[in-house]
Structure 1
Amino acid sequence: MANSPRPGVWVLERSTDEGKTYQAWQYFADSYADCDTYFGPEVEHGISRDDSVICETKFSKVVPLEGGEMVISLLNGRPSANNFTYSPVLQEWTKATNVRLRLLRTKTLLGHLMSVERQDPTVTRRYFYSIKDINIGGRCVCNGHADTCDITDPNNPSKLNCSCQHHTCGPQCEQCCPGYQQNKWQRASIDNPNVCEPCNCFGHSNDCYYDEKVDERQESLNVHGIYDGGGVCRNCQHNTEGVNCHKCRPGFYRPFNKLLNATDVCQPCRCDLTFSSGNCMEGSGQCECRPEFLPPNCDQCNAGYYGYPQCRPCDCHANGTQGRVCQVNGGQCPCRRYYEGKNCDRCSPGYYGFPDCRPLGLRRIGWGAL
């Protein structure tokens, strides 16, 4: 203070939303009775939790009349005072974007207690607050992932950011760095630094994100060769795709002798699109035949087709045709018993379940047995 006593009753307040709202950080009064009178009987007189809002009485004495000091610690005496880095509650408790002093009553040298007939109504109006200097010390909240905060914020030269470790990023090391999102970000603890691990993209991408569902299904392979974590690679290069950039894109295949981290791991399929879908088998590169052609060489028509190399669909349905006749040049297909239609593609009356065509009586018997 300057040339006045310290305030008699006041509140130290903080804001965590740039001054939009304020909450009490600590109360100050002459006595515990005044604490209860001004701030309510529920106010705490001693620290019981990391975020206890207490009422302090030792800074409201009338002496000294001027030049008094108040050294207020928001950490000392709290349960996690020696474990600040690993206490989320205490870290939240000490966060503030703005600090406000709400002064409620001066020290009046008991002038406010004079008897009514002797009371001078101007007494209390002649008292004043005089503050000479305010120093606020703070520390960065780095979630256990930094030892110092000495990096100037590019958007605010008066603000310092954490010097992050453990492959974490952000002003407060509050997220995993790009490419290190194999596991969900966590605060560091005494027992585990919770280092952010790199995603395993086999060298085909430097970008990834964490997916909780992928983690639950154990679909992501980490750099240790274990399906653990939820890292999903993005922007896979070298014609790769998949959670770990571990598969070849359609139209490419991985030869038997190629390692997953080779830049040329995926080779183009060399297939004739007249007979092939354009895709090919992993390892061998054997072309995948279109449905109307018979694998593996696609050099004749598949079942249900005729007329290589055009391979048109058969006129007759194979299940319903005698001798599995395929081509009748637009005529009637020779239907088996229980089948009918020009193409033998439906059941005769009294039968059901094409293409098997079973007697209706069997269905009734089956229902009766249920």
Structure 2
Amino acid sequence: MRQRRGIMWPGVQALLSAHACWVLLGALTSAERNRYDHCKSMVHTEEGPGWEYHACQPEATDMTKFAKVRLDPPDITCGSPPDHFCTLENPYLCNLCDASTPQLSHPAELMFDSEPALGSPAYGGGHGGGHVGGHVGAQGGLSTYWQSVSWRRHPEPLRVNITMSWGKTIELTDDVVITFESRRPSAMVLDKSLDYGRTWSAVQYYADDCHELFRREARRALDLTQASATQVICTEEYSRSFVAKQDRTVRFEVLNRTALFAGVGLRNVASLYARLDGDGELRRFFTLTDLRARLLQPATGDTFIDKENLKKYYYAVSNVQVRGRCTCNLHAKECKFEKGQLLCECEHNTTGSDCGKCKRGFRGRLWKAGTYLPYPKGMPNECTANTGNQNGLGGNFGAASKADAFLPSISSSLEELDTNPECSCNGHSNRCSYIDVLNIVTCVSCKDNTRGQHCQLCRPGFYRNFSVELDNPNMCIKCECNNFGAMHDRCNDSGKCECKEGTSGLKCDECQPGFHWNRGCHPIVCDEFLRCENGGTCVQRQRCACVSGYEGVLCEKSRCTSPNSCGSSSAGQRLRAPALPLLAASSSSLLLLLLLVALLSAGPVQTLVPTR
């Protein structure tokens, strides 16, 4: 039996070709993604088999699976007591939120669950009869979401903090995406913490009017350059009032920033890795222990804010996407989740939650993070076995006689302790000195911006990074206080700089309400909302330039205290209303004038002559 030769239509052929290209692109992307997935490999040399170490890191994954979520205030979720709410799109479409009924409740965990299809057990089509907390979406599946209470306490602000904590340092590898079931907020801030929630710094502002709400210029991530990749911007792109349902996402654009160095499609990843190796600020920008979304003002559309419309104003989040990986300093390829805690499975003879120190017995050189370069295997910078005098002088130096026996002078003490791998300097120095007067041994020449007897403190102008251990070279972070907004270049233990009057923010680079930024914060005297009066002109928001004849902060006062006090100033005369002579006349003269007008309007006066 002869087979019929199939005919391939041009459209089908093009489709298959496109599919083949997509598969190839996926394979390339997968291969790129799997680089740095081996920490060591077996090699054979003349001396026999051995290990060759490589820089390695865990694969990127959905980090929301490991996050602890907290809502502030705790009672902000709808349903206790039951509450009716309506939509802005259709004021007649209203529903009930009731925390006591699973099908009508919207708890916080519904921000992170998978949304099942119709007929599945989770939807109720099987025997599970599980939690619903949603409605049928546009794609035919169930849309589940968390929802806040409505704005029933207006004019008190309706504000919510959604905080995700990992209890460990992680690195973002993709955009942070928050999908709203309701309209997107009119004002929102995304914050991050590097010290487990002790201090926070903003990474992006969102508003429908950046200048009005945050006193910032509106920008997009696409407008950033390599020099401004870590700049905190305010964007109006995700706060529009009327959008299609599929456009209700708010993003923190990680890929747009990395594409500045790796190119479109991240094809030149070697360039990106070179920047990450050489620019600690860029790497730190994508690193965090906690992430917080501050919802500051719900969308109100074009409806008038009154008691009848308050049930339309609320927040509802259907999904939160955070992709990233554990920070393991390129010393681990796996990150395990045990007993509610993320931990790196460290290689290269390292240990610690972030592989941030060398194992005991492998401190032959100072600990160092791995590097991405030379691409594609990187540099492992593995910890090596101890060398030199293993019995050294580690341990207790409390007795003066023992110290004198080993350390007859400062110079010889330096020589003895230099070879001791257990020198108690937390890896920031390998030189110690004995101070005879105090009978102590102290580290000298502390590196990595550290100081102290054991290099355990930070130099002035730096503060302690509590997300890493004491022996991490990044344990001290530069304060980076703003030169114009801060009193000096030093900060407290949480990185907060001391700000000048009217200035705020962690680095003193933001202005308090009523102030504006111009090489420091200055009081706002006038702007487009607080305008100069009587023809005055606002000069750099700092003063009103008044026309002749007026004075005051807003040119609200007239200098003309008497009729002739303004002289012959034409500008002053133009702004004053002309004097009305009738208003200056006496009441009797005015009465006679009105009587005369009435007589004239009555026509000619007839003279009556008596008849004889």
TM (normalized to structure 1)? 0.46
Higher helix share: 2
| Larger of the two Rg values belongs to structure | 1
